[in-house]
Each structure stands twice: as structure tokens, then as C-alpha cells.
Amino acid sequence: MLRLTKKADYGLMALKYLAEQTSGSAHSAKDIAEAYHIPPQLLAKILQTLAKGGLLVSHAGTNGGYALARPAKEISAFEVIRAIDGPLFITSCITIHGACDLTSTCTIKEPLRKVNDSIKELLSGIYIGDLAETGDGEHPSANAVGGGLVSIAL
């Protein structure tokens, strides 16, 4: 079973929260953490990571907090996951350091590369705006697969 890390899950939830806010103002890590029952210190670190990755804007001060750096319909789930967890690889044979020692005799690296590319493509086509509820309580699903993120059993 391929699963999102808790950090990536929390990051997606936080961006969804920010996308659903109609005021457009910044919201604190504490507000988001309370809304989803996420450990506040962990969420604060995740939000800082997302701000460094250019997906959030951090506002200091009394009315400070975090806001989306771009419209929710332009931020993909893949971008969020990559900002938090780094490059997406489903196996250790495909890494940023090159191929493993068995590359010359491996018979599954190409099919696994295709799976990896498919997952990347799927997540790149799901946007935070697809995950957010609209004002009428409905979830937009124009670009979402199965109405949102899917669990992929391998």
C-alpha cells in the first residue's frame, strides 16, 4: 500500500483549510491545528516548510499567519507532497543518487518507473482547489480523480 506521510497529509489539510477561508487573510498555525486536531508544533514546522517551498506566504505580527502564495486551483497535491517529503520514488531503485547495483539485470525497473510516473502525473492533476469545499458544501471535482486523493494499493 502506497500512503502519504502524516506530514504530507497534514500539509494538504492545511492548504485545504486556507483555500476554504473566504476572508483572504492570514490564518495562524494554531487555528489550522485546532480545526483538524493536528499537533500544533508539527503543523508549524510543516507550514514553515511549505512557505520555504513557495506554496504559502508567511505574515508576521499580531494578525499574522499563513496564506496561499497562489490561487488554490494552481497548487497541485504533487507540489505539496514534494515540498514536504522531497522527490517521489516508490522504490529504492529509483533515487536522486542514480540507479541501484542491480540496474543491469533488473527486470522490474522500467515497469516501476512507469508506475512512479503515473502517480506523479495523477497527483499533479489534483489541485488544492479540488479538495476544498465550495460555499455550497460541495467538492469541485473537475480535475479530481475519484473526487479527491486516492489510496493506491500496490
Instruction: Between 148 and 134, name the one with better pLDDT.
Output: 134
Asked whether residue 46 carries a pLDDT value surpassing 80, the answer given is: yes
CATH class of residue range 6-131 = mainly alpha
Domain ranges of the chain: 6-131
**pLDDT band at residue 137 under the 50/70/90 scheme:** very low
Residue reference for cell 508544533? 41
Query: Nine-digit cell at 137?
Result: 458544501
**54-93 pLDDT per residue, tens:** 999 998 887 789 999 999 999 999 999 999 998 877 766 6
pLDDT of 95 reads 56
Q: Which residue has the higher pLDDT, 74 or 4?
A: 74
